[in-house]
Amino acid sequence: MMIIMKANATPQQVEAVIAQVKSEGLNVHLSQGVEATIIGAIGETHSIPPDRFEGLDGVESVQRITQPYKLASRQFHPEDTRVTLDGFAVGGEEIAIIAGPCSVESRSQIVETALAVKEAGACALRGGVFKPRTSPYSFQGLGEEGLEFLAEARDRTGLPIVVEIMSQVQLELMARLVDVLQVGARNMQNFNLLRAIGEIRTPVLLKRGLSATVEELLMSAEYILSGGNRQVMLCERGIRTLETSTRNTTDINAIPVMKNLTHLPVLLDPSHSTGHADLVPAVARAAVAAGADGLIVEVHPDPAHAVSDGKQSLKPEKFAQMVDQVGQIAQVMGRRLAVVRGEHPSARQGWT
Amino acid sequence: MMIIMKANATPQQVEAVIAQVKSEGLNVHLSQGVEATIIGAIGETHSIPPDRFEGLDGVESVQRITQPYKLASRQFHPEDTRVTLDGFAVGGEEIAIIAGPCSVESRSQIVETALAVKEAGACALRGGVFKPRTSPYSFQGLGEEGLEFLAEARDRTGLPIVVEIMSQVQLELMARLVDVLQVGARNMQNFNLLRAIGEIRTPVLLKRGLSATVEELLMSAEYILSGGNRQVMLCERGIRTLETSTRNTTDINAIPVMKNLTHLPVLLDPSHSTGHADLVPAVARAAVAAGADGLIVEVHPDPAHAVSDGKQSLKPEKFAQMVDQVGQIAQVMGRRLAVVRGEHPSARQGWT
Amino acid sequence: MMIIMKANATPQQVEAVIAQVKSEGLNVHLSQGVEATIIGAIGETHSIPPDRFEGLDGVESVQRITQPYKLASRQFHPEDTRVTLDGFAVGGEEIAIIAGPCSVESRSQIVETALAVKEAGACALRGGVFKPRTSPYSFQGLGEEGLEFLAEARDRTGLPIVVEIMSQVQLELMARLVDVLQVGARNMQNFNLLRAIGEIRTPVLLKRGLSATVEELLMSAEYILSGGNRQVMLCERGIRTLETSTRNTTDINAIPVMKNLTHLPVLLDPSHSTGHADLVPAVARAAVAAGADGLIVEVHPDPAHAVSDGKQSLKPEKFAQMVDQVGQIAQVMGRRLAVVRGEHPSARQGWT
Amino acid sequence: MMIIMKANATPQQVEAVIAQVKSEGLNVHLSQGVEATIIGAIGETHSIPPDRFEGLDGVESVQRITQPYKLASRQFHPEDTRVTLDGFAVGGEEIAIIAGPCSVESRSQIVETALAVKEAGACALRGGVFKPRTSPYSFQGLGEEGLEFLAEARDRTGLPIVVEIMSQVQLELMARLVDVLQVGARNMQNFNLLRAIGEIRTPVLLKRGLSATVEELLMSAEYILSGGNRQVMLCERGIRTLETSTRNTTDINAIPVMKNLTHLPVLLDPSHSTGHADLVPAVARAAVAAGADGLIVEVHPDPAHAVSDGKQSLKPEKFAQMVDQVGQIAQVMGRRLAVVRGEHPSARQGWT
């Protein structure tokens, strides 16, 4: 960490900063230039926020040199992390396609969708049962009953299930029943939830917040990793920008950026990142061409009557076309689509 | 709600939309123009999300005419809501100034600060004990012990205390001990937390999310209001924009916008909305000149050594100057600074 | 255009709006619903800005139904526009790759680069001679001498040249000497320049502004088209967002969005949209996978010593690898890379 | 300027950077820490863009320590610049209020408005004759005839006139006839125009671009200042953000930020920064409370029938109320409203 002093900083102010650096257990490297005095703070700086120094008199600014995350960093963990599900791994050569409806609406709806997306080439099933809705008056999800329907769809297809968790109080139930816990964009900085998830060992799909930077996403992953849960997958889902023709702006740059910075698998959600079903296939292809490890896509047997997100949900036949195109792009990239083994334990513990 | 059909929509598609509108319990007003067919959906539309119609075939777009919130709307509640604390009310003629450190650090630090801000003219004390930090390695707050210190500061000064809550699991403790629950920017869309807070009757200070629109803030207030808790104050605290010279961009427009749209009190936090102590007084004055009902300001007896947010914390003497300036602006606005009665029940139930 | 009246609008206000609509030469379609009165304004509304009605008493808001552009719209011109250069067309089956340095620095630099990018598979040469620099103290380009060097590079390789124009006063010179006029991001709404370019017949590459919406880009294209110059190509080059790890955020959604809205060719500039050479190939592949008609890429024989944009310039060998990858993606998309005929008239008129 | 090398940079790479620094005429201060090697580049760095070093192998990042502008900087010019118009100065104790219609529409409209705004307390008259419109089909201004009407309004009231210039080709005409040249948001980085304006001596009102940072605005001012024209006033007019309830977001922070960074006068345009007439008075008061040196406000005798921007234009009586409120805030700030002398030379050279 470099602490840049103001041009007119006094020797006393420089001394005070040095004392503060030392009191944090860091070593000091002093560089007195003509333009400015720079105090290098050396050691385990990733755990020290810049605001420990920014308030000191005479300080112009504080610049990090090393990343503020460590467990998520590729620097300290060069090999790709692979999150193994049922017969396939996310983060290796395979491209994982997770698909399903925004909300679980009924037993038949989720089973029908599960069969269709598996047929089309998906390797996991998504479906929301606790829904983060902007309005208190909107449908909030089927809750525990929805989980039961999802489990049945898993039993019928062998597809592992990916379900969003919204609160610590749902954790015990969810950890027992789902294969991948999804943390949604609005909870990316719900630090209590992240910390709680760090304590268990269920794989996690952590989505980027609507206006979070890549670094903030990695810091949120660090919360989970530092608790001991290393099964973390990241997901770009679009950010809020000035553009109004789409629901969000897909940050396609974030795919290669994150592949450089971290060893964790990186997925993309083209349904939320565009908000329009007819844009999903193009952006799904782009994601894989840019190096994404997978996709999570909203598919609904009857989007027109979906209780939520119908506008951005693909019909199963359009989804199947998309999977076919994505498979061809994967091949150019030297990769292949992940295939679920399909022998998922129907006799999963804790569920009867 | 108006559903605008595509230019080439078929009569069958129009019929299907009409059927869907009716199935939501709404009435239909059909307008077949030359440019477009528009289907008006009339009734209790605030509880129906546009995506119920956006996915239907032939639909171009859906426009709300009425606001999606009702309890928060000034339309249905023209008089200002006043949240009464100890001898003063927020939301009326008085300007409330809440002040205190980012984090409670020690008994002496919070008591010293409380005495200083009261002396300078504050009417309530802020202080964090559970801290939402971007990094898992940063100081996370003193927790319950911090609450004890805050309560002592309240006993010594009579200032009501405003404390951030981060999770449902802290609710029982917090509701018992604090005077105002603060919901921070990162939890503005933690809907489970909002719903839980709606169930109790402690006043709430709800801060706008980093990238939330004013409408989204009002929708989050609606979550609390719809639970029955009507003691909600809103707080602008800066949004994330392209500008890099400040930590956030104070959305000063939001003050008159919200005063028009809602009857709830509107405060501004110039410490977070600027990120620099030397910008705080100018923006505090601006807030009151624009019509804000109060301010929440970070004050620390020794900002240079604050464990967090030292850069944006005022020293007590600078804060006193700021209060003086704000008082003069308040006078021009026909208002006056709120004064705490100072007889806050030291023998508060539940705390021994 | 729909004019939505306020709930409490008076009949007189409705009458006044109707009169104003008629005075604009539009027909009126009145729809008096329970929730709101809506006045449909029907006719040639694309030429009428909403602010003709927004200021009228009793008006809540004004919504366009039809697009505000006409010549750029695919609705009125369903077939793709193809801009023909030397033996290839942009906007058809072929993918055009334009490459070259940010700035023309010397005769040898541009000739060397031209030879290298042609060898690697580029079909046109870019190079700046008038440079829009944020600082008045930065290198502002070689000016007319740079054009001479570019012409020599064209003579040696047959590659058409793409050069940025910054001002009306450069138009005569540029129109005489370059094959494609580039309008840069900072001039996207320099309406005088757009209008002047509309008067000539040189093909144009119009780049999206740093914070322009897609609709605004199409409106700027409309300025050129309405002057009679129909040879317009659009270029996404990244927008300014909250993300700080990259120079800009590539709006990959904009590729399929624009391909839907307009018949004009759509290119992407991965050098500016990322700002880092090592991100360029991934984003270039993504662009073609998303449906882009071409790329414009910064290539420099010695990026480390480039006078500008060295950080985002590819070395020729990296560029060649990128072209190879992009070619494979093009094939999956049923397209192929454009190849220049290479018989570009060395005896071009006006240049001696 | 500090050049931070990558952790694994080789000694050869460090040497190459040092050589490049020296070749730019700068001195080197080398600091080899444990975490990183930092190369300080010392000297006239404001004229050297970071991209001279960012492309070099082994470079992690480049940080400026000193500001990239010099003539605009308060560091080198501590006293406030005052731009003197007719009997008053902008940038001193007085608060200048410039008012008038978006567009000059007719002789009677501009004369009537001029009389009204002078009566209400304005000290200068604004009015557009060349209009930067998003659509080529919108009203583009009266052009030279409009200037004639403005001059007549000036003759009748003595108010100096502030008029937007859109292109170099208008410069000779405008410089001869107007008192203050306004550079609009869309031309803030039209560097050719800025350079041309730097060559003359007419005062300039330079508006911030829709998505420009404060630093970029100051760099654009530097273009004008470096040409020798020191009569530059800056104007905040709102930036484009995520908020949709207002046309732009007023960056109120920018007022004290700019007053710290530069000696140039800083104004605010609450009409464009909000987009709604009913928000203008609140934001105008806030601007002055935050330390602005003046306001530029849209006023129209009949906003409902304005050819442009009617929605955000104040009626004269509302404007008069606003001036009264602003005057009271000015008093609290120890300032007063500027008053035009009213003896403006009706026999201005060049106009007959």
Q: Round to whole Å and give the CA distance between D42 and D118.
A: 52
Q: Round to whole Å and give the CA distance between C205 and C258.
A: 15
C34 pLDDT tier (thresholds 50, 70, 90): low
Q: Is the pLDDT confidence value at D351 over 50?
A: no
Indicate left, alpha or beta for D143 from its phi (over 0: left) and psi (-120 to 50: alpha): left
Percent of chain B whose predicted confidence (pLDDT) is above 90: 75
User: CB C13: neighbour CB atoms within 10 A?
Assistant: 18
What's the pLDDT at C344?
A: 53
Residue B282, CA distances (Å) to B236, B285, B318, D241, D253 in order:
16, 5, 12, 22, 8
pLDDT tens across A7-44, in order? 888 999 999 999 999 998 888 888 776 667 888 888 88
What's the pLDDT at D32?
A: 76
Q: Which residues pair with A98 in a beta bridge?
A: A124, A296
Measured between beta carbons, which residues in chain C are less than 8 angstroms from residue A269?
none
Look over chain A and give the mean of its residue pLDDT values, rounded to a whole number. 92
Range(s) within chain A of domains with CATH label 3.30.70.1140: 2-63
Residue A283, CA distances (Å) to A288, B126, B175 in order:
9, 46, 47
What's the pLDDT at A344?
A: 53
**Closest CA–CA distance from residue A138 to any residue of chain D (Å):** 22
Range(s) within chain C of domains with CATH label 3.20.20.70: 74-337
Rounded to an integer, the average pLDDT of D281-292 is 98
Residue D152: alpha-carbon gap to chain centroid? 26
B210 pLDDT tier (thresholds 50, 70, 90): very high
| DSSP 8-state symbol, A120 | H
Q: Is D92 on the interface with C (CB under 8 A)?
A: no
Q: Is D279 on the interface with B (CB under 8 A)?
A: yes
Question: Cβ(D171)–Cβ(D126) under 8 Å?
Answer: no
Measured between beta carbons, which residues in chain A are less than 8 angstroms from residue B307?
52
Q: Round to whole Å and give the CA distance between D122 and B177.
A: 54
pLDDT tens across C332-345, in order? 999 999 999 876 55
B92 pLDDT tier (thresholds 50, 70, 90): very high
Task: Locate the chain B residue with the closest alpha carbon to A215.
Answer: B134
How many residues can be counted in chain D? 352
Q: Round to whole Å and give the CA distance between B328 and D21.
A: 53
What's the pLDDT at A35?
A: 67
How many residues can be counted in chain A? 352
Look over chain C and give the mean of its residue pLDDT values, rounded to a whole number. 92
- Closest by Cβ to B191, choosing from A49, A132, A191: A132
- Closest by Cβ to A245, choosing from C214, C278, C279: C214
Percent of chain C whose predicted confidence (pLDDT) is above 70: 96
Do C211 and D216 lie within an 8 Å CB cutoff? no
Count of CB pairs separated by less than 8 Å, B with D: 124
**Closest CA–CA distance from residue D221 to any residue of chain C (Å):** 10
Q: Counting beta carbons within 10 angstroms of the beta carbon of residue A231, is it exposed (0 to 12), middle (13 to 18) or buried (19 or more)?
A: buried
| DSSP 8-state symbol, A6 | P
Q: Is the pLDDT confidence value at B274 over 80?
A: yes
pLDDT tens across C292-301, in order? 999 999 999 9
Beta strands C294-298 and C94-100 are parallel
What's the pLDDT at C346?
A: 45
Q: Round to whole Å and give the CA distance between D114 and D123.
A: 10
Q: Is the pLDDT confidence value at A162 over 80?
A: yes
**Closest CA–CA distance from residue A68 to any residue of chain D (Å):** 13
Question: Cβ(C146)–Cβ(C127) under 8 Å?
Answer: yes
A343 pLDDT tier (thresholds 50, 70, 90): low
DSSP alpha helix (H) spans, chain B? 11-23, 51-54, 107-120, 144-157, 171-177, 191-198, 214-227, 254-261, 270-274, 280-289, 316-332
What's the pLDDT at D64?
A: 83
Question: Looking at chain B from residue 293 to 332, which residues have their Cβ under 8 Å from any Cβ of chain A?
Answer: 303-311, 313
| Token pair for B140 | 């996370």
**Closest CA–CA distance from residue B137 to any residue of chain C (Å):** 22
pTM (two decimals) = 0.94
What's the pLDDT at C110?
A: 98
| Token pair for B285 | 């004055």
Degrees to nearest 5, angle at CA A205 with A201 and A207: 140
Do C285 and A282 lie within an 8 Å CB cutoff? no
What's the pLDDT at D30?
A: 83
Q: Is A243 on the interface with D (CB under 8 A)?
A: no
pLDDT tens across B211-245, in order? 999 999 999 999 999 999 999 999 999 999 999 99
Do B290 and D282 lie within an 8 Å CB cutoff? yes
| DSSP 8-state symbol, D159 | -
What's the pLDDT at B1?
A: 84
User: D2-63 domain in CATH 3.10.620.30?
Assistant: no
What's the pLDDT at D39?
A: 87
The better pLDDT of the pair B153, C350 is held by: B153
What's the pLDDT at C308?
A: 86
B352 pLDDT tier (thresholds 50, 70, 90): very low
User: Looking at chain B, which subunits does it touch, using at least 3 CB pairs closer than 8 Å as the criterion?
Assistant: A, C, D
CATH architecture of residue range(s) D74-337? Alpha-Beta Barrel (3.20)
Q: Round to whole Å and give the CA distance between D140 and C226.
A: 14
Q: Is the pLDDT confidence value at D304 over 90?
A: no
Angle between helices A316-332 and A280-289 in degrees, nearest 10: 20
Percent of chain B whose predicted confidence (pLDDT) is above 70: 96
Do B222 and A136 lie within an 8 Å CB cutoff? yes
Do B65 and C2 lie within an 8 Å CB cutoff? no
